[in-house]
A and B are shown apart, each in its own frame.
Chain A
Amino acid sequence: MSPSKTDSSRGMFRAIVTDLHFWIPLTVLLGGLFLLDKLR
């Protein structure tokens, strides 16, 4: 992977993990998996 592509991937990763919107669905997903584990 070229340096510019690596930088661009890192930038995208940083933008996602610093986006509050990302953590809301992720938390709900983990909660759903927990519930599913209890129900099965």
Chain B
Amino acid sequence: MPAAPPAQTPVHATRLRTLQALGIFCGFAAGAWLGGAEAPIKLVNPDISPITVSLIMVFGVFLARWSVPAFVRGTSHVRNDVRQAPHLIVWAVLAGCMWAVANTLTIYAIRNVGLSIAFPLWNTNSLLGIFWGFLLFNELHYAGWKRWLGVLGGAVCMFGGATLLAIASSHQAAPGKAALGIFAALGAGILWGTMYIPYRKAYLTGMNPLSFITFFTVGELVTMTVLAVAYRGATPLWLELVGAKSVMFWLMLGGFVWVIGDLFQQYATKYVGISRGIPLSNTNQLWGLLWGILVFHELRGGSQAVYAQVAGGSILMALGAVAIALSSATAREHSSWQDAADREGQRYGVEGEYVRAGMEGRATQSAVIQGGGMPADPNARTSLDWLLILVTTSLFGVLAVMARLPHVDIALGWAIALTVAMLALLTTCALAIWRTTRFR
């Protein structure tokens, strides 16, 4: 355990409480959107190679990771962040490479053991996140036993719930392929759990999530393209991409929806740390289950015992999430985070004011001065920003026209209801981020 409490000026108690509440809200919103992202992938013909599926998804992710920041704040903010902390480009690209490999593994996992088993296995990433958060970034230091119990107990509770859900739906596993699927899902969990190290490095040093993801996605796209060309060969890959044009929209839509969830997850990581933000965003399993049961008729005809396991698992997960949400960081623990932030700032030569402003979700003093006493216009956008938005919108429009709705039995009413719920969460959470931090 640490030797002595840190000594910086603490963040004002009211501001700290607001930021913690915002981070927790972002964690729940992330769960909804990350869970919903798996739905469009279910509409795709299983004959397409997982590598190609992943590559097409990453095209959608790439477009989203540039167009969403352009829409929300404008890319000029990205340039400013890079000037302040250029080393974070390396960290963001590294995290992007990890994401791409993990995402490809999840496709193998879903194909071999089904979403219901794969989900809880890769969601063990939250336990790894807590470990890295404590070990490397002073999270949960000086937290007291109640908060330790809330976070660790909550994460274990969520894991237990996830396991129950897996048992309930284990009859869906493809015979003979279970071991491969389990390895793939666990591998994805380890990659994602460790990917939060670069995330936390970036946000402790004050980087804006909207800037981080623009470089993150370069790592994703390059890794995925290299993997796809190396594994499939350039010509077969091209032919498969051309052959997949009728489902390209659904895969890229899955990637786009994932990015929205990931963005909320990034804000959660920034304001409540990885030990709390990641378990909360892992409520995506509940959303995945809702989509599976209500829209895709999974578990139809199951026994009462199966439904009891699903209900029990879901309740356990929800209780775990509530326990974590109620264990937000105290001022003392937050000071300990500032210690870790100072260490990062000193190592990489980042201005103290930039680091501190980033942690508090406010503009730096220099930005306020440039804005004549007010923060510089957060809505300033260049023609490049509008071009990015236009190109992305047009491309999705063209793909939507070419798209074919696969012959899958879906409950359209439930699909609309869940989509409306996700959009409501998106709107309220985005408004909360805007009001509290202006998307910082």
Contacts and interface: CB of A to CB of B under 8 A. Distances in A.
* Range, interface on chain B: 20 to 34
A1 interface: no
A24 B98 CA distance: 12
Given A26-B94, A28-B191, A36 B105 contact: yes
Contacts of B348: 12, 15
B190 A32 contact: yes
B183 A24 contact: no
**Interface residues of B: mostly helix, strand, loop or mixed?**
helix
Interface residues of A, number: 19
A20 to B, nearest CB: 8
A25 B195 contact: yes
B386 interface: no
Nearest to A12: B87
A32 B101 contact: yes
A31 to B, nearest CB: 8
B343 to A, nearest CB: 10
Chain A contact residues: helix, strand, loop or mixed: helix
Contacts of A16: 87, 90
Given A15-B87, A28-B194, A35-B184, A40 B231 contact: yes
Nearest to A35: B187
B324 interface: no
B368 interface: no
Contact of A21 (B86, B136, B190, B191): B136
Interface of B: 51, 86-87, 90-91, 94-95, 97-98, 101-102, 104-105, 108, 132, 136, 180, 183-184, 187, 190-191, 194-195, 197-198, 201, 227, 231, 347-349
24 contacts: A11-B349, A12-B87, A12-B348, A15-B347, A15-B348, A16-B87, A19-B347, A21-B136, A21-B197, A22-B91, A22-B94, A24-B132, A24-B197, A25-B94, A25-B95, A28-B191, A29-B98, A29-B101, A32-B98, A32-B105, A32-B187, A36-B187, A36-B227, A39-B183
